[in-house]
Amino acid sequence: MPALHASHRSLLRPLLLCAGLCAAGAVDSANTVPMEITATLTPAACTPTLSSGGVADYGTMSASILRQGQFTTLRAMSMTFSVNCDAAAKFSVKVIDNRRASVVPGIVAAASGDGSLGDDYNFGLGAVAGRNVGGYTIRFMPDTYTGDYQPVRLMSSSDGNIWNNNGNGIASKRLQFSWGSSSGTPDAYKAVSGRLSVQAYINKAENLPLTQDIPLDGSATLELHYL
């Protein structure tokens, strides 16, 4: 069962202000006193959450659904993804594949029929007896998201500097995602919320050990970064 885990990182930005005050007249150790002012500034604290505990549970399925020579497409599962901050903040989300070593090359492109979805979009479903089980995609459903309860646009970036509108919302391991009210500019929000979907694909029957149970063991982390 693919499991998504939300996490966040806080970037600390230190600020050091130093001031020296001295009395008029002769300057020596008897009539001067140093003063230092220090502070640590942090971004607003933001907490990402996923409904259903972040678990897309497909339950128990019969191996008879698998076919020789064909990948098997399971139904899409969806959950709510939210980020809540104690003050308005700009942030992005990056998706990390915790089962990257188990990716079945090309399964997403072949099973979905979309050749543009390379393995950057392909998240691993774990392995059984040395056989990789399959892959899945994660999609931020663009039209469902609101920022502070107003519709917002989903956008993505490969470097955190140049942002483009993202119309399909399918998560790539090389991209980070953010939201804004206008093209190309992430905005600061206290609350962002919308739907996220998982689409799983199972390996060909001949590539799996069908004499034993085969768990779907996908795991990804949604990591929050402050901009």
- Mean pLDDT of residues grouped by 10 in the chain (227 residues)? 57 35 48 66 81 90 92 95 95 95 97 95 95 96 96 95 93 96 89 96 95 92 93
The CA-based angle 154-157-160, given to 5 degrees, is 115
23 lies in a domain? no
Q: Look at residue 77 and tell me if it is in a domain.
A: yes
Residue span of the structural domain in which 94 resides? 3-9+44-226
Residue 33 lies in a domain: no
Distance CA 132, CA 127 (A): 4
Asked if residue 216 is part of any domain, the answer here is yes
Domain membership of residue 26 (yes or no) is no
Query: Would you say the pTM of this structure is higher than 0.75?
Result: yes
Domain count, the chain: 1
Q: What is the pLDDT of residue 182?
A: 81
Token pair of 85 as six digits? 């901050």
Does 122 reside within a domain? yes
Q: Within a domain: residue 34?
A: no
- Domain assignment present for residue 17? The answer is no
- Contact by Cβ (8 Å): 137, 108: yes
Instruction: Give residue 5's pLDDT.
Output: 61
Neighbours of 148 (CB within 10 A): 14
* Residue 183 confidence (pLDDT): 72
pLDDT value of residue 24:
45
